[in-house]
Amino acid sequence: MSSLALRHGPGCYAEADAKPQRWGGRKAQQYVDATLAAYGDVCINCGRPGSDSADHIIPRADGGAVYDLDNLGPSHRRCNYARGRKPLRPVGIPIESGLAFFSR
C-alpha cells in the first residue's frame, strides 16, 4: 500500500454565516452516491475498496462543510465511525504492531 493515491475532496469549512445543517436523510444519501460516483469506492481511511458511505475530510464537529463534495471522500461505514473527529491519516503509513517486541 505504499504511495497509494486516494481520491477525495480537498476538504473545506462551512461558511461562517451559514445555517447549521444536519447530515442525514435522502439528501445525505444523494451526496453519498455522488461521492462514490466522483471518487470511486476505495476507502480514504483504510485504502480498501467497497466503500458504502461518505466521510467528511474536515469533521462536521470541527466546522467542516456538511453538503459539499470538496469535503467528502468515500469510506466504509465502520471506518467512518471509527475515525470520528480524528484527523484523516494518510493511508500507506505503516502502523507498528508491537510484535517485534516478542521476537527478540
Is 80 inside a domain boundary?
A: yes
Is 31 inside a domain boundary?
A: yes
Is 102 inside a domain boundary?
A: no
Is 49 inside a domain boundary?
A: yes
> What is the domain count for the chain?
1
In the chain (104 residues long), the average pLDDT of successive 10-residue segments reads: 68 86 94 96 92 94 92 95 87 62 70
| CA neighbor of 47 nearest in space, from 72, 12, 75 | 75
Is 42 inside a domain boundary?
A: yes
Identify the pLDDT of residue 83. Answer: 92
Q: What is the domain extent for residue 69?
A: 25-84
Please state the pTM of the whole predicted model: 0.79
Say how far apart CA 54 and CA 83 lie, in whole Å.
12
Is 52 inside a domain boundary?
A: yes
Identify the pLDDT of residue 9. Answer: 85
Is 72 inside a domain boundary?
A: yes
